[in-house]
Amino acid sequence: MTSQATLTIDALAHKGEGRADTADGPVHVPYTLPGETVRVELEAGNASGGRGRLLEVVSPSPLRVAPVCRHFGTCGGCVLQHMDMPALLDWKRTLVVSALAARGLGDLEPLVEPTVDAGGDGRRRAVLAATRAGQKILLGFHERASHRLVDLAECPVLVPEIVRLLPLLKKLAGLAMPRKGEVGLSVLATADGADLAMTSQAKLAPRAIAELIETAMSGGISRLAFNGEVLVETRAPALDMGGVSLVPPPGGFVQATRAGEDALVARVLQGVGDARKVADFFAGAGTFALRLARKAKVHAVESDRASLAALDRARRSAGGALREIVCERRDLMRNPLTAGDLDDFGEGMEAVVFDPPRAGAEAQAREIARSKVKRVVAVSCNPATLARDLRHLVDGGYRVLSVLPVDQFRFSPHIEAVAVLARD
């Protein structure tokens, strides 16, 4: 059963949907803004309240702007192209503030700085999907709350180098397409060409693999991996990590935008100050470790074997430009370094940097809180788990010195943040 209603949008919910507070509970309406009067088609409610499909904006907000992409409203990649950018950046700051307040850290609001717009030239890494629709190959992102794919013709949040590759990526996907299902494509734009990692349930014959390689090479792909195996590498797809060349593993994690990486690195380096011994937890392939090692001895801890191997290769290629980096493979979620471990590194670890997945670093944060480490820099892509981890650190005697929101996820409800803490 559905019905229509005219509602006033009171706020933006944390997923970027407008929220109308009604006598029957909140109604969430995508693509609306606070203060707007809208006509919607109501859907049945659920545990988190009702939902409405936008039919008409009766009275638009002065913050409403024209979307910049033809796919907006269908593609699930962006939900906030209709919002004025300064207002959007300010709203993302409130996400961090609200998460802190929910953990009893509301007094930290003055320390939360304005959001850094780190969209830059666009995302240099994209994770796309492809599927077959009749004789046609569709390539793009999934529709909002759907398994259907949007066949991308453009994408304003990706770097132009990836957008130009869309026709080639579609052709490559067609060569690796299973009879049913999707092909996954993780593409990274580098100065040495595009790095492409594909996944598929298709079992390719040698002739098909040869055609896949030839097509990729003729299209300028620098490295092609298929289901975890590197098929061809004409040029190493390297990234510049503060003067050190890093070749990440195929499909490996890197920061979404170069501008975002620069903003995060600058705050991390500022946060550790003149510390001579630094632990880098959830180190990945070395985004922070390789920069920190310019001035400090670094103990880099990461659970992913391929990422740690890439970090070690970059370390060795740097020669004498870096100080010591000790790499340790360890699952910090299940087996965090203890407070005793941290205090036993020589005369004790002087600073800790951690940048965990969205689930956060609760177990490790508890141990850091019990240690004697003087400086901590917490990087997170999830304000809720960041606030939880900061709560443990504050309860352990740390003071929060600053919190910097960094937006490298333009037009989405996601936000990165860096918190710097110190112990007296």
SS3 243: coil
Burial (Cβ within 10 Å: 0-12, 13-18, ≥19) of residue 132: middle
Name which of 142-151, 227-236, 415-424 the model is least confident about.
Answer: 142-151
CA distance linking residue 418 with residue 379, whole number of Å: 4
- pLDDT tens digits along 336-348: 999 999 998 756 7
Residue at 12: amino acid letter: L
| pTM given for the model | 0.94
Catalytic-labelled residue, pool 78, 155, 327, 381:
381
Rounded (5°) CA angle 399-403-405: 165
Burial (Cβ within 10 Å: 0-12, 13-18, ≥19) of residue 153: exposed
Domain with CATH 2.40.50.140 in the chain: 3-64
Task: Label residue 348 left, alpha or beta by phi (over 0 means left) and psi (-120 to 50 means alpha).
Answer: left
- pLDDT tens digits along 139-176: 999 998 788 999 999 999 999 999 999 999 999 999 99
**Superfamily the domain 3-64 falls into:** Nucleic acid-binding proteins (2.40.50.140)
pLDDT surpasses 90 at 179: no
Q: What is the mean pLDDT of residues 418-423?
A: 98
Nearest to 289 by CA among 246, 349, 320: 246
Q: Does the domain at residues 93-119+254-422 carry the CATH identifier 3.30.360.10?
A: no
Q: Is 69 assigned a catalytic role?
A: no
Count, residues in the chain? 424
Domain with CATH 3.40.50.150 in the chain: 93-119+254-422
Q: Note whether 178 and 171 are within 8 A (CB).
A: no
Strand partners, 352: 279, 376
- CATH C-level class of 125-233: mainly beta
